[in-house]
Amino acid sequence: MGDAIQYETGEIEEGVSFGANSKIKARKVLIRKDCSIGENVEIYADNLLVDEGAKIEHGVVIKGKNVHISKNVKITQQTSVFSLDIYIDENTRIDDNATIIAYEKLRVGKNSIVRRNVRFKARSIEIGDFFYSDDNPTPLIIGGGGSDRPTARIKIGSRCVMHDSYVNVCMPVEIGNNVGFSPGSAIITHGFWDSVIEGYSSKFAPVIIGNNVIIGYRAIILPGVNIGDYCSIGAGAVVTKSFPSYCVIGGVPAKVIKTQPDYPEKLTFEDKIKIMKDLIDEYAELLEDRVENVTLTKKDDTSIIAGEYLSKKFQIIFSPYLKDRSFDQNLRTIFLTFESIQVSHRNFLINLSDYSWSGTDDEITDDLRDFLRHYGIRIFSRHFHSIPPKSKRELLDT
């Protein structure tokens, strides 16, 4: 390791690899087995923990006092992470050329994906589990004017998705769970220009977004706005005032378009069954473009898709209560149902009543989960990857 790896106390376990010109300088160090540190990596910390299986690629720079990189975290090339207190939870990935500066505290939850070129800057940044920022030509930006202020703090809940959005954090921003930011959307926490002592206005105020909110394409939320739970903000809306829960909001300036009892639509259990049967029909048609030997059979309220992928046979069964057990119980099976049942370790269950799951994921469960999320049915286990179309795989093989 040489003089480039310097620490007073601690341990570097067996199986840790260091690339050329990598540099670590810390007071206390623990780097666990099977970690890899790439070329030209620089890490400066008082207390450094890099947990088992973490990968830090070439050109990454990390600087802080307390730095905790958890199991199987991957920080890819040319990324910079600066904060006095850094905690990146397990199975999270931060992609190329990201710049993250959180002067006091940075928290990124487990199973998150922070895509390349993001620009984050604030006093404190806290991000929950299963965060996802999309890979767009224009990066996601959190920061902007006033991001050095003591009030420049952002807290993002779990299971949130952000595209090439802009979030100004001159004042605090709090975002709940299950919030989606469409491309080009923005949150602004301050506005000013001409002199206040000549009668012109300025406004500095926090923004709070509740749980289960979708912010439409190029919608803008202005300082002091508080959005309740389960709101839908339409494309291009300019939100200048606060709105309660369960609203559809749109226009310039934004106003309520629909609210309770008309929103959300009240569904009977029979309605839900019909919707799921229609989705299974659609997914069976989609699978024909991706896997082999797809068949769809129906009996009463039960639909069964069978197919083969990478020489492995599988079946997907939707049944409200799985009363009919006449299916092939020897096949790898993914169950979709409205009840909680025990499944063997080799199978997979999605409980549509509470979006919980159990069993073992694979490429088919990943693809099914990606399909369902387009209809707001979001199941969170591992990172999913859709199965590419047959034509795409054939093209890549040529």
Cα-Cα-Cα-Cα dihedral sign, residues 13, 19, 20, 22: negative
* Burial category of 247 from C-beta neighbours within 10 Å (exposed 0-12, middle 13-18, buried 19 and up): buried
CA distance readout (Å), 27 to 5, 67, 249, 381: 11, 12, 53, 37
Q: What's the rounded Cα separation, in Å, for the pair 368 and 393?
A: 19
* Burial category of 299 from C-beta neighbours within 10 Å (exposed 0-12, middle 13-18, buried 19 and up): exposed
Long-range contacts of 318-323 (CB under 8 A, 24+ apart): 318/276, 318/277, 318/280, 320/269, 320/273
Q: What's the rounded Cα separation, in Å, for the pair 187 and 201?
A: 19
SS3 at position 29: strand
CA distance readout (Å), 91 to 17, 29, 36: 19, 21, 15
* Burial category of 46 from C-beta neighbours within 10 Å (exposed 0-12, middle 13-18, buried 19 and up): middle
CA distance readout (Å), 170 to 65, 139, 163, 362: 24, 19, 20, 43
User: Is residue 385 annotated as part of the catalytic site, yes or no?
Assistant: no
- Pull the structure tokens for residue 242: 């606060």
CA distance readout (Å), 272 to 158, 259, 275, 353: 26, 21, 5, 10
Out of 58, 68, 163, 190, the active site residue is: 190
The residues assigned a catalytic role are 190
